[in-house]
Every structure is written in C-alpha cells, then in structure tokens.
C-alpha cells in the first residue's frame, strides 16, 4: 500500500534516487529530452520541501515516489497557446516532478486520490514525447488545453482537470 506524506529534508537522498529512476523510465520510453541529466536538481527539491509542497510516497516504510503539489499562480501558466484553460479564474494546484521507481505500481492513482483531498482544480504540463504521462492524464480525466512555455522557452503540453 502506498502512503503519502509531506517530504522532509532527510528524504532528499531518497527523492534524488527516485527522480533518477523516473528519468530512466522516461529515457527507456523514448522521452529523451524532458529531464536532462541532473534535472530535477537538489535545489529544486529543497525549494519544494521548504514550503511543504514536496510529497513522498512510501511503500513498506521506503520512499518509492515523489511529486510536488504547488498552489497557483504558476507564471508559466499565464500564457497558453492554441487553446485555453478550462477555468482561468479559480485557484489551482500544479503538479510537477512526478517520479517513481519502475517496480512501483499505482503511483498516479494514489497521487490523484491524495490531490482530490486538496483541490478540485489541477494543472499539469508534460513534454510532447512523454506518452506515458499523456496516457495517464487522459485516463484520469484531464483535458488537453494547449501549449505553455517554461521559463527557458521550452514548450509543454498543458492539461487541466476540474471537479465539481
């Protein structure tokens, strides 16, 4: 069974291992450009953990997955190309840096169950080559909304899920 809790400073080494495993999953599935070597950085994880946005999933007492759940606004979501957000008025949460070890199953479902207790408005973006994430987003009721651009100018497919 997967349990979710707020990440702590002492979790950072385990989180970095999970992120490296997530990068490996991306590479093996043909998503070669979303997470270059060294990304996400330890500094990013620390920035997630500081305000309590970083979340770890544990199985049998071991950290096996990670994600960041960050309240709006996200500056990279202020402009969307080729579409529109389902709702651009209500506060939302953005989910970033979703990763797990390859042998762990049910991570996205557990994350979504957790998020349903936090918000009814979720936004996620992903690389065009991340077919695994695109499939999960579709299966869990997200709608494709258009393209956003990261601070470095890289395009990302943007999705939103509204409940209620």
The span from the CA of 148 to the CA of 131, in Å, is 17
SS3 state of residue 31: coil
How does the average pLDDT of the chain come out, rounded? 96
How is residue 11 written in tokens? 């979790």
pTM (two decimals): 0.94
Domains identified in the chain and CATH numbers: 2-162 (3.40.630.30)
pLDDT per position as a tens digit, 12-49: 999 999 999 999 999 999 988 899 888 899 999 999 99
* Bridging pattern class, strands 2-6 and 155-162: unpaired
pLDDT score recorded for residue 37: 85
């Amino acid at each position: 069974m997967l349990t979710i809790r707020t990440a702590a400073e002492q979790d950072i080494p385990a989180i970095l291992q999970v992120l490296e495993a997530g990068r490996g999953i991306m590479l093996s599935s043909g998503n070669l450009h979303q997470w270059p070597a060294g990304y996400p950085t330890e500094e990013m994880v620390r920035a997630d953990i500081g305000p309590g946005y970083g979340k770890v999933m544990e199985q049998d007492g071991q950290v096996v997955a990670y994600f960041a759940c960050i309240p709006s606004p996200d500056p990279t979501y202020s402009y969307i190309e080729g579409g529109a957000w389902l709702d651009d008025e209500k506060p939302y949460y953005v989910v970033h840096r979703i990763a797990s070890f390859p042998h762990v199953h049910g991570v996205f479902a557990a994350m979504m169950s957790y998020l349903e207790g936090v918000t009814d408005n979720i936004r996620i973006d992903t690389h065009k080559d991340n077919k695994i994430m695109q499939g999960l987003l579709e299966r869990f009721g997200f709608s494709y909304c258009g393209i956003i651009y990261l601070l470095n100018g890289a395009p990302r497919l943007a999705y939103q899920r509204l409940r209620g």
